[in-house]
């Protein structure tokens, strides 16, 4: 298998990702009320792997190729903006289980609503 074929597979995959990815996945849509704005922030990671080899047992299809990829979107935190206060970034640390999300939500609500 030649380099052009491998490059075309990778190029098609990347172009497909461009159609799926959106900036709203990283910087979420702002959530606002009378007291301020909360903006969710995430991290996007992705990777690709491709490889090829030769199959000497068959003349019909002597080349073997495999490729794959993966992606993950991980919440990083929330940007809290309130009038009269400096912007505050509420960072998510460690595991992102439901208890952690409830703690984050509580923290954001306290920062946005109750601290005036």
Count the domains in the chain.
1
Q: How many C-beta neighbours within 10 Å does residue 112 have? A: 24
Q: Tens digits of per-residue pLDDT, 30-84? A: 989 888 899 999 888 878 777 777 777 767 767 777 777 777 888 888 888 988 8
Whole-prediction pTM value?
A: 0.54
For residues 61 and 52, the answer to whether their CB atoms sit within 8 Å is: no
Residue range(s) defining the domain that contains residue 89: 3-114
For residues 21 and 44, the answer to whether their CB atoms sit within 8 Å is: yes
Residue closest to 29 by CA, chosen among 91, 78, 76, 73: 78
């Amino acid at each position: 298998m030649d380099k052009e074929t491998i490059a075309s597979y990778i190029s098609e995959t990347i172009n497909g990702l461009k159609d799926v990815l959106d900036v709203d996945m990283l910087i979420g849509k702002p959530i606002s009320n009378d007291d301020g704005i909360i903006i969710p922030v995430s991290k996007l990671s992705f990777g690709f792997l491709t490889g090829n080899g030769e199959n000497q047992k068959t003349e019909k299809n002597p080349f073997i190729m495999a490729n794959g990829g993966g992606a993950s979107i991980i919440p990083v935190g929330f940007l809290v903006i309130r009038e009269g206060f400096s912007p505050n970034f509420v960072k998510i640390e460690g595991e992102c289980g439901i208890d952690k999300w409830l703690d984050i939500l509580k923290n954001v609500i306290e920062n946005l609503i109750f601290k005036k």
